[in-house]
Structure 1
Amino acid sequence: MINFKRFLGIALTSSFLVLASPRAIKGAETITFSIMPLGQFDISVQSLTTFAETGTIDPDFKFYTQHLKPEELEKFRGLLNHSFKLNSIEAFRFFNTTFGKEIAQQLSYIIAAPTNESQPFLEGAIITAAQNPDGFKIIDVINAYGGSDLVLNLDTFKNTIDQADSLYQATDRIFTWLGKQDSPSPPVPPNLKPLALAEPGPQQWKTTNLTIPRPDGQPVKVFVYLPQGNTKPVPLVVIAPGLNSNFQAFTYIADHLASYGFAIAGIDFPESDAARMQDSLQGLDAFPNPNAWLEQPKDVTLVLDTLTQKAATDPAWQGKFDINNVGILGHSLGGYTAIASGGASLEWPALLQECEKLNQPNQINLNPALLWQCQGVDSAPPLSDLQDKRIKAVLAINPVTNPIFGPDGMKNLAVPTLIVAGSDDIFAPPVPEQIIPFSLIEDTDKYLLLVQNATHLSFIAGTENLPEKIVGPGQDLAYTYLKSLGLAFFDLYLQQNSDSALYLTDEAVQRMSQAPLPLQLVQSLTPAQLEQAMDINN
């Protein structure tokens, strides 16, 4: 039998885990909900406000909290007081975009009122709360919601609890569980210094830019690094930035790999680069074709085909790189591009099935990455196989992979793969987008780098003007990690330097691990093991 009071306590706590992501707000003077056949229950917003401000639990609130542990209550209070650095103008602009309206609609499902009524009130509450120059808090939004009595759709609310747990709370359990597992690996010499790999190498290079026409749409811009003074062709690394980003965000890793003798091809994808997306968010341009990002692996193939032609016809390019020995490094949607180019197959029916749930008002999607993937489901499906067999190694940072690769697509990944996941990534949550997909990879070398406290932006340069809470701590350290492990990974699988395998072990990673971004490296994880790790009682 379910302990009713315990359920209510967990429900309240879980709901604000939802609010701490891009999720829902409930407000006014009283929050009301019904549980049949037990009847109607309510709690005053003032009780929540008092608890948030002082930690005091008044009699009205005590009924729901008496079965919660002290650490659960403390986390609950922290969520109520969590500050979001978004001003009212930015919030207003966001809610006037297609994506912003979709998020607001998802949030409004938790309120037992027609969406056309609850959604404007919800948007208005967030915009009002965002007038605070120090950033708005969840409790501010609750108080700003219009009306005297807010009725929750409890069925919808209950259906979000498990998802909220798997997206956010389960991440800590998985990181902890994996940290306790023995990871057999070859002994690392005492004098091995992994961070030494972050020091620049001796190789010289020259840069050149290409503009490559596409059969339809805007051209692709490519930034090419050609090594100088080599006696034989060197491996090539393609760099694929994510949505609302450019290659310039990863020049630090491009420069580093080039200094060790790799050729580089950095791509700016025309439909999803920073300038286009910023204009779209401000209403100055239309959002790109919803399916544009799905087709990005075709741009990778177009770039490689163009480089092949240049190497065959231009004396300045001849013998510079080995076009059949290519690695790819991608971030976010660029991480999707890298994984698809490496052989993972797109599972369109799986995506359609998950996107259909967005239209069911008794469920709320808490994963922003899914909303992006569902933007193009009314368009023609892309090719399922976007692999480019010239790709021999994949490094994907915070990749978006689920559900676009479905339950079987990751099994087709054909080349060694390193996936980087940050525990505080709210845009591509690590459990569904990196950890679960990693567990599905079979028949190839695989690595999962878990970075505690890292966000979706930790590995991106050029974020100086963004709030620290969004970017996260220790960004320079994140760059150092990527330089070291990125070099070791591509050196092992493209240069065939077996000595670099020593750096790709958890023992070596522990040597470079530092606060505020502790590291774990996992080389083996099955779906059965992952299920054990996610067990709340484990």
Structure 2
Amino acid sequence: MKAKAKPKKLLGFLYTCLFLGLGILPTVVKPKPALSAEYIYFNYGPLKLSLSRESLEIFANEGRITKEFEFYAQMLNPEALEQLRMLLQKRIKISPVAISRLGKSPMGEAFLEGLGKMIKTHPGRNGLHSLRGALVLAAADSEGLTIINIVRQFPTEGMLIDTDYIFDVQKELATLFRYRDAAVNAIANQATREAAAENTVDVSQLTDLQQPGPYQFTDQVITLSGRRRQSPLGLSGETKFEVALYLPKGNPKPAPLV
């Protein structure tokens, strides 16, 4: 029983790493990266495991399980395999400009830095900048922002996933989602209270602006001339423009000029 439980726990790490590490994120000109991640490496205690990007692509596009991927697939039931394939195929619609700004915002950069503790280019090196670049390049690519494309745009030959930090990332995600939900609920509740506090306006009692009012007026158009003046290009010519005046009738007091 212990021997069977260990692979399942290991596969849980793999599945969660793919989902949390790459599937959660939502330069207009896309440069071609010099390198792209061909393999995803996992550490699980003393074990060092790897999975090629090609095997993931074949499974995502064709549903075919290669010999390499079979080691992981045999520990999942058909329903879980289908969910994994849907996750690999999921495309997030977001522009490269938007994701670049999001990744450079204080909250976005802090989150990517935490995620970079788990997804690295080399042992002991935070993957923040590589992740941010891969996200922007994937969003700018015709394939769009998918897990496979993020791995493809990762600027090293291998992507290292340090499973020791996966639970820290899960906690950060839970906190982030709770904060988001609380903020949305607070805004919605405030809007509801403000709407309920507003006085109801009886539109039928308002003045119909399409009908003439009780005041009469005369309109008059006058032409004004502007004097010649000095400009950066020399003396300007005389300018003329028309002004429309609407003068109220029967008002003993001077009318304000608007």
The correspondence of residues 427-506 of structure 1 with structure 2, limited to 5 A, is none
Amino acid at match of 2:10: L
The alpha-carbon deviation at position 367 of structure 1 amounts to 3.2
The reply on whether 1:73 has 2:81 as its aligned counterpart is yes
The alpha-carbon deviation at position 12 of structure 1 amounts to 2.1
The alpha-carbon deviation at position 85 of structure 1 amounts to 1.0
Distance 2:175 2:91 in 1: 19
Distance 1:139 1:104 in 2: 18
The reply on whether 1:58 has 2:63 as its aligned counterpart is no
Report the secondary structure of 2:140's partner residue: coil
**CA 12–34 in structure 1, closer or farther in 2 if over 3 Å, else same:** closer
The reply on whether 1:367 has 2:200 as its aligned counterpart is no
The reply on whether 1:132 has 2:135 as its aligned counterpart is no
The one of 155, 162, 171 equivalent to 1:153 is: 162
Amino acid at match of 1:149: G
Amino acid at match of 2:88: L
| Contact kept in structure 1, 2:60 and 2:88, CA below 8 Å | yes
The reply on whether 1:399 has 2:206 as its aligned counterpart is no
Distance 2:148 2:8 in 1: 23
The reply on whether 1:109 has 2:111 as its aligned counterpart is no
Q: How many residues of Structure 1 are paired with residues of Structure 2 in the alignment? A: 179
Of stretches 72-81 and 12-21 in structure 1, the one that deviates more from structure 2 is 12-21
Structure exhibiting the larger radius of gyration computed from Cα positions: 2
Report the secondary structure of 2:64's partner residue: coil
List alignment gaps of at least 5 residues for structure 1. 164-363, 374-397, 401-427, 429-433, 435-456, 460-482, 491-538
Distance 2:177 2:78 in 1: 34
Amino acid at match of 2:8: R
Distance 1:61 1:126 in 2: 25
Distance 2:107 2:116 in 1: 14
The alpha-carbon deviation at position 372 of structure 1 amounts to 5.9
Distance 1:102 1:44 in 2: 29
The correspondence of residues 255-404 of structure 1 with structure 2, limited to 5 A, is 365-367=172-174, 369=176, 398-400=181-183
The one of 88, 94, 111 equivalent to 1:86 is: 94
Distance 1:62 1:4 in 2: 17
| Contact kept in structure 2, 1:5 and 1:67, CA below 8 Å | yes
Distance 2:143 2:49 in 1: 34
List alignment gaps of at least 5 residues for structure 2. 27-35, 197-258
Of stretches 131-140 and 51-60 in structure 1, the one that deviates more from structure 2 is 131-140
Question: Structure 1 length normalisation: TM-score?
Answer: 0.30
The alpha-carbon deviation at position 106 of structure 1 amounts to 1.6
What per-residue deviation string (whole Å, max 9, x for no partner) do you get for residues 33-80 of structure 1? 23334x321111111111111111101111011010111111111111
Amino acid at match of 1:130: A
The reply on whether 1:32 has 2:35 as its aligned counterpart is no
The alpha-carbon deviation at position 399 of structure 1 amounts to 2.7
What per-residue deviation string (whole Å, max 9, x for no partner) do you get for residues 413-453 of structure 1? xxxxxxxxxxxxxxx7xxxxx9xxxxxxxxxxxxxxxxxxx
Report the secondary structure of 1:366's partner residue: helix
Distance 2:178 2:117 in 1: 15
Match of 1:100?
108
| Contact kept in structure 2, 1:104 and 1:123, CA below 8 Å | yes
**CA 31–154 in structure 1, closer or farther in 2 if over 3 Å, else same:** same
**CA 17–151 in structure 1, closer or farther in 2 if over 3 Å, else same:** closer
What per-residue deviation string (whole Å, max 9, x for no partner) do you get for residues 211-240 of structure 1? xxxxxxxxxxxxxxxxxxxxxxxxxxxxxx
Distance 1:131 1:83 in 2: 12
Distance 1:5 1:22 in 2: 28
What per-residue deviation string (whole Å, max 9, x for no partner) do you get for residues 169-189 of structure 1? xxxxxxxxxxxxxxxxxxxxx
Report the secondary structure of 1:141's partner residue: helix
What per-residue deviation string (whole Å, max 9, x for no partner) do you get for residues 111-156 of structure 1? 2547765211111100000013564112110111111122221211
Match of 1:121?
130
| Contact kept in structure 2, 1:31 and 1:150, CA below 8 Å | yes
What per-residue deviation string (whole Å, max 9, x for no partner) do you get for residues 76-110 of structure 1? 11111111111111111222211121121121111
Q: Which has the higher contact order (CA 8 A, sep 6+)?
A: 2
Distance 1:115 1:87 in 2: 31
| Contact kept in structure 1, 2:88 and 2:147, CA below 8 Å | yes
Amino acid at match of 1:399: A
**CA 135–33 in structure 1, closer or farther in 2 if over 3 Å, else same:** closer
Distance 2:94 2:124 in 1: 24
| Contact kept in structure 2, 1:34 and 1:40, CA below 8 Å | yes
The one of 36, 44, 47 equivalent to 2:55 is: 47
**CA 76–121 in structure 1, closer or farther in 2 if over 3 Å, else same:** same
